[in-house]
Amino acid sequence: MLDYNASVLLIYTGGTIGMTEDAETGVLKSFDFGYLKEHVPELSRLKFNIDNIPFERPIDSSDMGPEEWKKIVRIIEENYDRYDGFVILQGTDTMAYSASALSFMLESLNKPVILTGSQLPIGKIRTDGKENLITALEIAVDKNPAGRALAPEVCIFFQNLLMRGNRTTKINAANFKAFNSLNYPILAEAGTYIRYKPELIRYPPEHSRTKFHYLLDTNVAIIKLFPGISPATLKSIIAIPNLKGIVLETYGAGNAPSESWFLDIIEEGVKKGIVVVNVTQCASGSVEMNRYQAGKTLKDIGVLSGYDTTTEAAVTKLMFLFGHGLSKSQVEEQMKASLAGETTVD
């Protein structure tokens, strides 16, 4: 049910949706919010109120990171009581990381925070940006008959799918279906109606207070295994001063080489106090470290299972947990739990 007295805050950070082509070079460059509004006149026909706060300098999402995530959380916190929902426009390249980070930074959310963008700039006739933006705005104000938001989560809406943000991955650099949520079902599908699946959506306990978090620690790394990875590469990562967490992207169900040099280096890292989390390189499925010897050995030397967590969610969760000063064992405990629906816990 659309609430026509509702208000949405649109936070424009940049990305293709607001870019224009340089006439000489054809290179896409960011434009300001006025340009975006001019190209989506439909915005003024929506019956609810839309305010906007653009980033002073719109950026390509390759430049998004912890500082920009904090800026977004600050904007949401300062405006939380005034709006029914929030839509964040950003580039698609790092949108799954932003959505994952925001899902941890915005605890007990009771209003929708929907990220969207587009593959084609809004000024292009075939743009996917208009549909994405307009439907994301509608989702941000959609409520049940009791007046509660239908999707009070950090989500990505893209093409026609509403997905839990910390379950998403960018799967295509050109197709309009740029994202998928391969280890968790879609939260809503937009066709002639927007069909929500309330049984899959997280609703905070009534009267719980939303908490806004700003602490992130970037002393983390991602190691993607590949056949032929050298001891020197691995050693140099383990030796990074102050490194606290590693997301180890392994093969299949969480398998890694069984050679002793490999296991010795990883074990050295674990013994130094680094939390090593095992996630799969596969697009879907879960790590099962007891299934093969090649996974069991990792478990025996102290590597944690990331289960079905995406790399994007695992790395931002480590930043969040270490940012809050948790000890190694506390971080390990939390990595086994689901904080914002990012992991399927048995």
Which residues carry out catalysis?
Answer: 16
Token pair listed for 288: 């099962």
Q: Does 129 bind ligand ASP (CB under 6 A)?
A: no
Q: Would you count residue 295 as binding ligand ASP (CB under 6 A)?
A: no
Among 85-93, 196-204, 256-264, 307-315, which window interacts with ligand ASP (CB under 6 A)?
85-93
Q: For ligand ASP, which is the closer residue by CB, 161 or 238?
A: 161
Which range touches ligand ASP (CB under 6 A), out of 71-79, 86-94, 190-198, 265-273? 86-94
Q: Does 269 bind ligand ASP (CB under 6 A)?
A: no
E strand intervals along the chain: 7-14, 19-21, 28-30, 49-59, 85-89, 106-107, 113-116, 154-158, 161-164, 169-170, 179-180, 188-190, 194-196, 211-212, 220-224, 245-250, 275-280, 304-305
- By CB under 6 A, tell whether 16 contacts ligand ASP: yes
Q: Name the residue number minimizing CB distance to ligand ASP.
A: 91
Stretch of 91-99, 153-161, 259-267, 331-339 lying at the interface with ligand ASP (CB under 6 A): 91-99
91 interacts with ligand ASP by CB under 6 A: yes
The distance of closest approach from Cβ of residue 232 to ligand ASP in the complex, given in angstroms and rounded to an integer, is 32
CB of residue 63 vs ligand ASP: minimum separation in angstroms?
A: 8
Scanning the structure block, which residue is given the tokens 């593959």? Answer: 119
Tell whether residue 93 is a contact of ligand ASP (CB under 6 A). yes
Burial per residue of 206-243, b for 16 or more beta-carbon CB atoms within 10 angstroms, e otherwise:
eeeebeebeebbeebbbbebeeeeeeeebeebbeeeeb
Quick one: 26 or 241, whose CB is closer to ligand ASP? 26
- CB contact set of 50 (below 8 Å; sequence gap of 6+): 7, 8, 10, 43, 137
312 counts as binding ligand ASP under rule CB under 6 A: no
Q: How far apart are CA 208 and CA 107, in angstroms?
A: 10
Does position 127 interact with ligand ASP (CB under 6 A)? The reply is no
Q: Is 18 in the site for ligand ASP (CB under 6 A)?
A: no
- φ, ψ for residue 246 (rounded to 5)? -130, 135
